[in-house]
Chains A and B, each alone.
Chain A
Amino acid sequence: MDMEKDIELNDQAGIGNSLEHDRAWAESFLNKESLSQFNLSTTNTPFNYFESFPDKLLSRIESEKRQKMEQKNTKILFLPSFMQPMNKWAVAAAFIVVLGGSFIFLNNSVSKKIADPIASTRINLQDLSSEELESYVDANEWIAEIDVQAQMQKENTRLSTLNEKQIEEIKKTISE
């Protein structure tokens, strides 16, 4: 409805007949001088603006192109979309290998550490001469003696704490 009204008004005003007519029609309502003044204010630009604009624009285009290339390269190196599922599996496999490998390695080294002292102290008695055995026993006799004395002292202490009834019971057990 509004459109029809507008078209009717346009026809009455003769809008679209010619450019000169349209300009003259606008100037009959609006101040021509002000209209040209308005145009002057919009055409005001800083000194040398249009001369420097192409170079400024081309260098911006160049830098944006470079940025896009860098982004593209970064994507290829780290996150190509078609590689993403494969990457997940590769990471998982690598993780398992590292974890499993370190578990086996640690287990081996611990058992070696435990086994090594025993292995190193294991001496075949047949390889030793009777002199060596005797000198070993002589050298370690006093240690055995101390061990026996200590054991006896311990037993005595235990017996001294027993009452008569307990002693009787022990005697009975021994005789049986």
Chain B
Amino acid sequence: MPYIAATDADRAAMLERIGAADVEELFSDIPSSARFPVLDLPPPLSEMEAMREIEALAARNLSASSSAWFLGAGAYYHFIPAVVPAIASRGEFLSAYTPYQPEVSQGTLQAIFEYQSMAAALLGMDVVNASHYDGATALAEALLMAYNAAGGAGTRDRVVLCADIHPEYKEVIRSYLSAYSARVDEIDLPPEGAAALADASTFCVVAPYPGFSGAIGDLAAAAAATHAAGALLVVQADPIMCGLLKSPGELGADIVAAEGQALGNPMCFGGPFLGMMGAKAGLVRKLPGRLVGQAKDAAGRRGFVLTLTAREQHIRREKAVSNICSNQGLAMLQACVYLAAMGRSGLRAVAELCWNKSHYAASLIAGIPGFAVRADRFFKEFLVETPIPAEDLAAKLSRRGVVPGLPLSRYYPERKRELLVCVTEMCTRGQIELLAASLEEASR
């Protein structure tokens, strides 16, 4: 279908054919009170005027690149090499979706296959699917997967959920599970402590790596305790951190979900993001989402196919492993190009920069009178106790172009004097020192 609007002549011909005087008459059955109101809009602008107006609006944005940016909490400011948008925006990839006639889109399938392969190596999983909407929905799907793997309704019905997970992720989990006979038991302990509370009614333990607070728990101990109870360990991971520390799979996770925005995707206004999800081989038939496999044609040539599709809704209908998942083709492609461009050593370099810079920032902040860093083991994000309300600090610092982090009161109104600070490779030494100096000055 061409994207060309009907002309006046087209409309007149159609109206004449159906015997209507004008377009308004087509809506005459709808009471006028229920009709769309007349919009009080200004007259149309020329292209030049429209650009000027949009640029003026855009100039009012606070952008990470023009600030000293220490805000994370789910959306992360990482460097995106120019090769990422250059390749991802090529015309050959101009489809935002997994194809329904896959064989004709070998390039798209190859990109998905390469993404799956690199993501599986990064997360320590045997198989990773073609992606989900975002990290939160991928995590919720991972819980449903564990629920179904345990036998579904009437079997194990308890989730042990570590409390130190992004509050919005927990809301998504509760929404998804509300339609199932599953109980969410939120435990305010590190992963190893929460997993020790898994019992014979528990189908999975959900552990963050790292937590919303930035804290990194003992996943190996959590895995041992979870498996001893006969449950599955579901881990929500930071893919950049997996470039430096052991992967969740190596530490014993059965299913891993992750937010993949940090891999070559801009923060935008919180989306579109990239839900990553993978599992160990024994669970592959319970894994939702599309899977691309490598195959050979009759002449022995390499090709790519959608595989294990009997899990999916176009075949299994209501018994499909998921009827709510989708694939984020463009965000996945950006992550694929990013991972290929960075390679193992490049990703490790990014992760080391995050680690070193965040620990430098933490050491400076810990030295400011009245401030304390509340973290033992962290990667790029850490909680800071502040002498005055964190919201006041953030407001004061934003006036000088420093975005110091997330005041926790946004999610936990009673936690007024806590600030979640994130330091990535993008933060310069000068910015880190400016942050520390500004915090000290603003708290006096």
Say if A and B assemble together.
Answer: no
